Amino acid sequence: MGDAAGLVDALLGEGIYNAIRSGQAAAAAIRDELEHGLAAAAGYARRLAEIQNDVAACYRAAVKFYNNLDVGYAALMSPVIRRAAMKGYAVGLTFSETRK
């Protein structure tokens, strides 16, 4: 579903996490419509925009990384960046959350 929806993390090539997030966003939007009368399509679009923004940030990072592998690899080997990325992804943070 992550591949089909265009929600793959371009840096890592992973799409399951964002597929699950988009499914949760759809379920929450449907719940909001049923319980509060809020339009499901608008609620889903709003929630999906957050995921799409993170995917776009991943894409920009991937372009920088893969277009210059020497610099990208050196950055990845930096203890600060490596530790932040590993810890962030390990606890389920998105790319944008990990960057903060």
Digit-coded pLDDT (tens) for 61-82: 999 999 999 998 998 899 998 8
Q: Across residues 42-69, what is the average pLDDT?
A: 94
Whether residue 45 lies inside any domain: the answer is yes
Domain count, the chain: 1
Flag whether 79 is in a domain: yes
Q: At what angle do helices 79-90 and 69-77 cross, to 10 degrees?
A: 80
C-alpha to C-alpha distance for 4 and 20, rounded to whole angstroms: 13
Residue 6 within a domain: no
Q: Is residue 10, in this structure, part of any structural domain at all?
A: no
pLDDT of amino acid 92? 84
Residue 29 has which token pair? 């939007």
pLDDT for 38: 96
- E-strand spans in the chain? none
The number of beta carbons lying within 10 Å of the beta carbon of residue 58 is 22
**Better-predicted residue by pLDDT, 92 or 62:** 62
Range of the domain at 59: 16-99
